Amino acid sequence: MPTKNNPDELKIGLVSISDRASSGVYQDEGIPALQAWFTAALTSPWQAVTRLVPDEKPAIQQALIELVDSERCDLVITTGGTGPARRDVTPEATLAVGTKEMPGFGEQMRQVSLHFVPTAILSRQVTVIRETADHAALIMNLPGQPKSIKETLEGLKDADGKQLVGGIFAAVPYCIDLIGGPYVETNDAVCKAWRPKHAIRAKQ
């Protein structure tokens, strides 16, 4: 069983879903964008496990199951394959491996993106929890473009830094608390994690 460097380390699975990137036609941009964002956003320890897979439902399902069941990731994020095109099957693969659906995340992703592009309503991102006998993980679909990834996670701020629209990651640390994962802390300047008062730990 994979080990963590310490009990509070967040293990994140990053899955980029693209026929062309997985076959080497072009360089994947999704995983580097996610790694850069987490490096800026998280102040508590974390490590990433990455996968690059084609737009094939069985391959996506296998990657998600391996990352949760074998790698013991606490959070799995996919990028790409969430539109209306025939090859876009990431949401279907995600729903197939989940044990609970978390519809609020997808709803908020589209609300955030609609502030930037009207085609946000074409996005089909879903979020689920996958539970095994002794482990659980949050699995989230994100858009494929690095700019959209950042906007979705952080939300929208005005010129003075005031939050206009909430990004989805603010709710992720508390969700991970509730499913038995590590305590995740964030850089408030990038994304302030929200927890009810009783769930906030004193700063060490």
| pLDDT tens, residue by residue, 53-76 | 999 999 999 999 999 999 999 999
Q: Are 60 and 82 in contact (CB under 8 A)?
A: no
Residue with tokens 């608390």: 177
Q: Please name the amino acid found at residue 193.
A: A
Predicted confidence band of residue 22 (pLDDT cuts 50, 70, 90): low
**What is the amino acid identity at position 113?**
S
Task: With H, G, I as helix, E, B as strand and everything else as coil, classify residue 196.
Answer: coil
Q: Quick check: 84 and 124 in contact, CB under 8 A?
A: yes
Assess if residue 172 is contained within a domain: yes
Q: What is the CATH number of the domain that holds 66?
A: 3.40.980.10
pLDDT tier, 23 (very low <50, low <70, confident <90, very high otherwise):
low
The stretch 2-23 carries a mean pLDDT of 82
The rounded distance, in Å, linking the Cα atoms of 151 and 168 is 9
Average pLDDT, the chain: 92
The helix or strand, by DSSP H or E, that contains position 165, with its residue range, turns out to be strand 163-166
| Structural domain includes residue 90 | yes
What domain range is 18 assigned to?
10-193
167 in a domain, yes or no? yes
- Let me know the angle formed at the C-alpha of 107 by 54 and 156, rounded to the nearest 5 degrees: 95
Give the separation between CA 162 and CA 84, rounded to whole angstroms: 33
Q: What is the pLDDT of residues 161-186, one digit of tens each?
A: 788 888 999 999 999 999 999 999 99
pTM of the entire predicted model: 0.94
Sorted by sequence, the CB contacts under 8 Å of residue 169 that are 6+ apart come out as: 41, 153, 154, 186, 191, 193
Give how many domains the chain has, as a whole number: 1
Report if residue 144 sits inside a domain.
yes
In a domain, 79, yes or no: yes
Whether residue 153 is contained in a domain is answered as yes
Residue 39 is assigned to a structural domain of this protein: yes
Q: Residue 24: its pLDDT value, please? A: 63
Does residue 198 fall inside a structural domain?
no
Q: How far apart are CA 31 and CA 78, in angstroms?
A: 9
